[in-house]
Amino acid sequence: MDEDEPFFSNLDIFLFSLIAGLLIYWFIFRKKTEPIPEFKKLESTAPTTRETSFIDKMKKMGKNIVVFYGSQTGTAEEFANRLAKDAHRYGMKGMAADPEEYDMSELSRLPEIENSIAIFCMATYGEGDPTDNAQDFYDWLHEGDADFTGVKYTVFALGNKTYEHYNAMGKYVDKRMAELGATRIFDLGMGDDDGNLEEDFVSWREQFWPAVCEHFGVEATGEESRPFDSKNPFLAPVTVNRKLNKAGDRHLMHLELDITGSKIRYESGDHVAVYPINDSNIVNRIGDLLKVDLDTVISLNNLDEESNKKHPFPCPTTYRTALTHYLDVTSSPRTNVLYELAQYATDPKDQENMRKMASSSPEGKALYQSWVLDSCRNILAILEDLPSLRPPIDHLCELLPRLQARYYSIASSSKVHPNSIHICAVVVEYKTKTGRVNKGVATNWLKNKMPTDNGHKATVPMYIRKSQFRLPFKSTNPVIMVGPGTGIAPFMGFVQERKWLKEQGKDVGDTVLYYGCRHKNEDFLYREELEEYEKTGVLTALNVAFSRDQAEKVYVQHLLKKNKEVVWRLVHTDNAHIYICGDARNMARDVQNAFYEIAEELGGMSRTQAVDYIKKLMTKGRYSQDVWS
């Protein structure tokens, strides 16, 4: 190389500059372009429907039946859960779903799942409106133009026939789904709360599933054993039987029945039905008076061949079994029974009086009222007071009504006690005008059901009767519970459930209890538990009326009126649900009048307007009663 020649030629410098320039360009612009693919990537992995896709959830969990519910008081939700559970009996899998939580436009994708069905349990709220949780679904159905071709569906509607817009929401969903191209695979079911909503649902459900089986060509798997009901009660062992009151002449008791392994499900507010047996002393006395061997085996047959009922009770049996387990021997006999038995009275005067009491004459009605009803005479008392009346026992067994199950409001929550049902009851015992002591059949029988009886477990034949007495669908709604005496029973379940909801991290509204008893130190039932609930804030307020601890009697309605401003704010402003449980004859009426007066005074209403206001609360499921006379 010549010493005078430059180290880099012009070409070298050019190439070097070009390479350096390209490197700088790549370095700078590579940095700037990097976010673009990343941004696109982020955008594509965050679909808005991921959390709200019931279709994806069904696919993931292998479900093919989805049951949507529009529920205000919880009944429609409960029906939806029951239908979802039914599915497994037919080799299908179901899930209940709140339409508020899902993207309902995905209904059009349902045919992607084989043998799929959408079931809608839709309650009508207020004046023909959708429930709060179904409002968005209703608006979308109303305004939208989705294509539901291939979607199979059915609807069960919940309403009340006494109101103008009976089952409006259920009818609308049924009609609109068909208009948008869906296929109705079973007729619209109509549940009437003014009649018997549970019976309406059960009869619809019993026809619905066979129709589904026929449609898809499947059969019941028979996995589920026969459920326990009135004809097939469960023998529940008694695990607890304790006296609740500290003093006084009454016996108030708390019992716990073990339902482990029975598959029995219940909700707070349901009733437990128990089948009692009659007092053996009464049965033996009837046998003595009629001079019969009670252990004779008998079979009473219906002579009417057209009748479906071949026997008045399970036969063959014995007179003792019939009088102990099947026949009501403690109620006052009806006039038709007296009329039929009159022919057997050998004293003409007795015969005349019995026929008179069975007649429609004012004199006969008055005699029946005073001699039978007001004097609380049962069949044994009548036989004792009419020595000439000795009817054949076969005819007596034919005439006496069947011994009925007794119902008690369940005093526990299944969320807290899934394997146990609690009962709170007062033992019925009173002196009649004739000087006899009458005892309540079921409560005296239950009183003696101790957990272990000579080494044997005491059992109670029972089943569950569903109720519409339900906590609000939304836990944030306040509740006002009014339950003096044993009317406290369902509210023990309600309070347990509200405590459980709090423990699950749910927002729970005000929980206010109005309770009443005679004396603070005698019959304040569940005092320790209730005071602890108040102390820990589970009960927002515990208001107790002790009716006989002062000169003037104080009842729950007096405390409601005393706290009228708080009561009115909870009801009128905060959408509180009101619950009344206990005596229908006086307490429930007096409490309702107290609410009328509060509405008049603080709502500026006339009595007519106040009555309409409370009636509307009843329509909306916000004023519920579980009462007895």
pLDDT in tens, 585-617: 899 999 999 999 999 999 999 999 999 999 999
Residue 24 confidence (pLDDT) above 70: no
Catalytic, 315? Answer no
Which segments of 114-196 does DSSP mark as H helices, in order? 135-143, 168-179
280-399 folds as: NADPH-cytochrome p450 Reductase; Chain A, domain 3 (1.20.990)
User: Poorest-confidence range of 165-179, 180-194, 424-438, 453-467?
Assistant: 453-467
Strands 577-583 and 623-628: parallel
Higher pLDDT, 370 or 263: 370
Q: Work out the average pLDDT over 83-108.
A: 90
Residue 408, annotated ligand binder?
Answer: yes
Place of tokens 């209703």: 138
Q: Work out the average pLDDT over 455-482.
A: 92
Which of 409, 413, 414, 624 is the catalytic position? Answer: 409
Which of 200, 510, 583, 626 is the catalytic position? Answer: 626
Residues of the chain with CATH 3.40.50.360: 54-216
Nearest to 530 by CA among 499, 479, 492: 492
Higher pLDDT, 92 or 223: 92
Higher pLDDT, 203 or 412: 412
Residue 221, annotated ligand binder?
Answer: no
Extract the tokens encoding 164: 């103008």
Residue 409, annotated ligand binder?
Answer: yes
Residue 536, annotated ligand binder?
Answer: no
Q: How far is CA 246 from the centre of its chain?
A: 31
Residue 627, annotated ligand binder?
Answer: no
> Percent of the chain having pLDDT more than 70?
90
Residue 75, annotated ligand binder?
Answer: yes
- Which pLDDT belongs to residue 218? 72
User: Poorest-confidence range of 215-224, 350-359, 382-391?
Assistant: 215-224
Residue 535, annotated ligand binder?
Answer: no
Under a CB-based contact definition with an 8 Å cutoff, are residues 624 and 494 in contact?
Answer: no
Residue 500 confidence (pLDDT) above 90: yes
Residue 198 pLDDT grade (very low, low, confident, very high; cuts 50, 70, 90): confident
291: left (phi over 0), alpha (psi -120 to 50) or beta: left
Nearest to 269 by CA among 44, 577, 477, 532: 577
- Which pLDDT belongs to residue 310? 80
Residue 619, annotated ligand binder?
Answer: no
- Which pLDDT belongs to residue 35? 40
Residue 221 pLDDT grade (very low, low, confident, very high; cuts 50, 70, 90): low
pLDDT in tens, 245-285: 999 999 999 999 999 999 899 999 999 999 999 999 999 99
- Which pLDDT belongs to residue 233? 93
Q: Work out the average pLDDT over 484-513.
A: 97
Higher pLDDT, 222 or 456: 456
Residue 250, annotated ligand binder?
Answer: yes
- Which pLDDT belongs to residue 216? 80
- Which pLDDT belongs to residue 100? 92
Q: Work out the average pLDDT over 225-251.
A: 89
Strands 437-439 and 452-453: unpaired
Q: Please state, in angstroms and rounded to a whole number, the distance separating the CA atoms of residues 427 and 255.
A: 12
- Which pLDDT belongs to residue 30? 53
Residue 540, annotated ligand binder?
Answer: no
Q: Work out the average pLDDT over 569-589.
A: 95
Residue 46 confidence (pLDDT) above 50: no
Catalytic, 475? Answer no
Residue 108, annotated ligand binder?
Answer: no
Report the SS3 class of residue 262: coil
Residue 424, annotated ligand binder?
Answer: yes
- Which pLDDT belongs to residue 176? 94
Residue 27 confidence (pLDDT) above 70: no
Q: Work out the average pLDDT over 456-470.
A: 91
> Percent of the chain having pLDDT more than 90?
73
Catalytic, 121? Answer no
Residue 555, annotated ligand binder?
Answer: yes
Higher pLDDT, 155 or 48: 155
Q: Work out the average pLDDT over 488-510.
A: 97
Residue 17 pLDDT grade (very low, low, confident, very high; cuts 50, 70, 90): low
Catalytic, 409? Answer yes
DSSP-assigned letters across all residues of 53-100: -HHHHHHHHT--EEEEEE-SSSHHHHHHHHHHHHGGGGT--EEEE-GG
Residue 73, annotated ligand binder?
Answer: yes
Residues of the chain with CATH 2.40.30.10: 230-275+405-467
Nearest to 107 by CA among 136, 165, 149: 149
Domain made up of 54-216: CATH architecture: 3-Layer(aba) Sandwich (3.40)
Tell me the pLDDT of the chain averaged across its residues.
89
CATH superfamily of 230-275+405-467: Translation factors (2.40.30.10)
Residue 40 pLDDT grade (very low, low, confident, very high; cuts 50, 70, 90): very low
- Which pLDDT belongs to residue 615? 94
Q: Please state, in angstroms and rounded to a whole number, the distance separating the CA atoms of residues 102 and 78.
A: 19
- Which pLDDT belongs to residue 19? 67
Which of 116, 413, 581, 624 is the catalytic position? Answer: 581
Q: Please state, in angstroms and rounded to a whole number, the distance separating the CA atoms of residues 197 and 192.
A: 5
Residue 144, annotated ligand binder?
Answer: no
Q: Work out the average pLDDT over 439-463.
A: 91
126: left (phi over 0), alpha (psi -120 to 50) or beta: left
Domain made up of 479-627: CATH architecture: 3-Layer(aba) Sandwich (3.40)
Residues of the chain with CATH 3.40.50.80: 479-627
Higher pLDDT, 461 or 584: 461
